[in-house]
Amino acid sequence: MDVFFAVLQAATLALILALLYRPLGDYMARIYTSTKDWRVERGLYRLIGVDPRSEQSWPAYLRGVLAFSVIGVFFVYLLQRAQAVLPYSLGLPAVPEGLSFNTAASFVTNTNWQSYSPEVTLGYTVQLAGLAVQNFVSAAVGIAVAITLVRGFARRGSGTIGNFWVDLFRGSFRLLLPLSVVGAIILIVGGVVQNFNGFTEITTLAGNSQTLPGGPVASQEVIKELGTNGGGFFNVNSSHPFENPTAWTSLFECVLMLAIPFALPRTFGRMVGSNKQGYAILAVMTTLYVVSLVALSSLEAAGNGTAPEVAGGAMEGKEQRFGIFATTLFGSTSTLTSTGAVNSMHDSYTALGGMMPMLNMMLGEVAPGGVGSGLYGMLVLAVIAVFIAGLLVGRTPEYLGKKIGPREIKLASLYILVTPTLVLAGTALSFAIPGVREDVEATSIWNPGIHGMSEVLYAFTSASNNNGSAFAGLTANTPWFNTALGVAMLLGRFVPIVLVLALAGSLAAQDKVPATAGTLPTHRPQFVGLLVGVTVIVTALTYFPVLTLGPLAEGLN
């Protein structure tokens, strides 16, 4: 019976995503290729002095991304520091400096890592004006960057890749906002809380007193998932019944996380003039997603040890109302995108099961990845794949009619190296610097030994890949982790964006090369298999040595 319900949930999710793929992908293509502006957009362009018909070179586009993001970091930081004097602060004090920096960096970079308990740390004004706003615009920035790379492949001899402000506003107002309104109504119908009640004292069935917070949860929950953000209104995130009341809302939240990332390949295909290219990218994403989901579900259902076997699987840290498969479905979806939301505690997974969410992030979150970041990450890997294929056959590699020369492959290679460098350096420094190591071992790690190593590795993997989930046994609200993880989030977000925009500019400047008999077809199963192999070998295997020190050692022990 459990297998039947697991298959039913997976089939339902697949059917919904299949039905959304074409209309949502086509709609996004129209958003970013339309020449018409909405009235509200024209008003905003006049307000900030932007000419929507003036396109930008990649350095100018990059300056827009960085300027907007820097302002966002300062704004969210100042909101937290001024919380005590803001309306709807619920009597909560100002957030400390280090935690304010970490949180501001987290939400602006679409990471949504939380080193605090939201319901007892942040009032409604900070949640709405700071965090919820960044949930929208950080997602819109990610999609905008992906669209520039698609334009790079689609354009011929162009010195421009679009206009950042146009892409930002269109993504926010035409895509994320209307979908969020519909999604929030569905969540409210499902029982997700939406109010301004503050804290309420109740008497439990056992006769004890308990304080329950309310809040505008549904409106933040929907963009948290739709924008692959992941930051919860409550400390336990989507395992809290006010955020995720039932099994069907849990499945619906998986749909929200996957809808845009899985539809973006259709947008890509439409914009480059070949839907087959979009299907090839979709096939790679789907293959990696299914393999990861099956592996994690199998490990958690089998379990290791007497207690899991008696319970019929590893149930520690999992909600009984969801069960194992709904838990692993959510966990795989969350970490294969850049969402980081949880409906269970990843720290309580089996040792090898807990390795799977890490591997999902180490893949670069490209199956299907975050909104925008998943597509541009996969396209960078596609560039590397055609370069390798070109070496094998002894000809200049081409992808979608664009030559992959030294400049393009250098940019793609640097992109691949960014997050492993941040993850491994951050983990190593946590144990290599004497003063830091003492603090980490005495304050942050509650599970000494191999598992403690895994907790630190997971934290830097999550931050550097802009995911935001955590092995919750780690206490990260310390000076070291607030600073180091904040820096990792900023570098892990914006250094790859710099490289992607430079790659987009380089490709857009080229004329298209006509296909010949020696051109590698990039829409066939052969290329899909090659790209799957490149993704696994180039990304995940980079981390194999450190995995042997953490989850692999723990699992084999």
3-state SS, residue 471: coil
pLDDT tens per residue across all 557 residues of the chain: 478 888 999 999 999 999 999 999 999 999 999 999 999 999 999 999 999 999 999 999 999 999 999 999 999 999 999 999 999 999 999 999 999 999 999 999 999 999 999 989 999 999 999 999 999 999 999 999 999 999 999 999 999 999 999 999 999 999 999 999 999 999 999 999 999 988 888 887 888 888 888 889 999 999 999 999 999 999 999 999 999 999 999 999 999 999 999 999 999 999 999 999 999 999 999 999 999 999 999 999 887 655 565 556 677 878 888 889 999 999 999 999 999 999 999 998 988 999 999 999 999 999 999 999 999 999 999 999 999 998 887 777 999 999 999 999 999 999 999 999 999 999 999 999 999 999 999 999 988 889 999 999 999 999 999 999 999 889 999 999 999 999 999 999 999 999 999 999 999 999 988 887 778 899 999 999 999 999 999 887 889 999 999 999 988 87
Comparing CA positions, the residue from 298, 284, 305 lying closest to residue 332 is 298
- How many whole angstroms separate alpha carbon 280 and alpha carbon 528? 6
The answer for residues whose C-beta is within 8 angstroms of residue 357's C-beta and 6 or more apart is 296, 331, 332, 334, 335, 346, 349, 458, 469
- pLDDT score for 448: 84
**Tokens 């109504």 sit on residue:** 185
* Angle (deg, nearest 10), helices 450-464 and 479-508: 40
Tokens of 311: 């319970």
- How many whole angstroms separate alpha carbon 374 and alpha carbon 462? 15
Cα dihedral angle (261, 267, 268, 270), rounded to 10 degrees?
160
Comparing CA positions, the residue from 498, 539, 483 lying closest to residue 106 is 483
- pLDDT score for 1: 46
- How many whole angstroms separate alpha carbon 293 and alpha carbon 108? 29
Q: How many CB atoms lie within 10 A of CB 40?
A: 10
Comparing CA positions, the residue from 491, 483, 485, 435 lying closest to residue 455 is 485
- pLDDT score for 396: 78
- How many whole angstroms separate alpha carbon 287 and alpha carbon 20? 18
- How many whole angstroms separate alpha carbon 360 and alpha carbon 355? 9
- pLDDT score for 69: 98
Q: What angle do CA 195, 200, 201 make, to 5 degrees?
A: 165
- What is the β-pairing status of strands 209-213 and 398-399? unpaired
- How many whole angstroms separate alpha carbon 427 and alpha carbon 345? 21
- How many whole angstroms separate alpha carbon 243 and alpha carbon 227? 16
- How many whole angstroms separate alpha carbon 477 and alpha carbon 102? 9
Tell me whether the omega of the peptide bond preceding residue 368 falls within 30 degrees of 0, making it cis: yes
Q: Which amino acid is at 130?
A: G
